[in-house]
Amino acid sequence: MIRDYKDKIETELSLICNGILKVLDSRVILAAKAGDLKFFYLKMKGDYHRYLAELKTGAERKRLLRVLSMVTNMLVVL
């Protein structure tokens, strides 16, 4: 019973995070000019990848952590 509830919550969080990431990638980050606003949205993208990585295991977790690392490197360049 608890495991089922945990799975349900993880699924809902994954859907929400993926939806936010889709909007960030397809519209928001592209429209942001360089500077503080772009930095904020890239940080937000990294945060949502970290949230997803905390839920996942194995190869999917490693993939998400690689994306998080790439986003972090982009923040250093800004």
The Cα–Cα gap between 46 and 62 comes to 14
Q: Which candidate, 31, 37, 67, places its Cα nearest to that of 49? A: 67
> Do 42 and 78 touch, CB atoms closer than 8 A?
yes
pTM, entire model: 0.87
| Residue range 24-51: mean pLDDT, rounded | 94
pLDDT tens digits, residue range 1-12?
A: 999 999 999 999
For residue 78, what pLDDT band results from cuts at 50, 70 and 90?
A: confident
pLDDT tens digits, residue range 34-47?
A: 889 999 999 999 99
Instruction: Parse the chain into domains and list their residue ranges.
Output: 1-77
Query: Is pLDDT at 69 greater than 90 in this prediction?
Result: yes
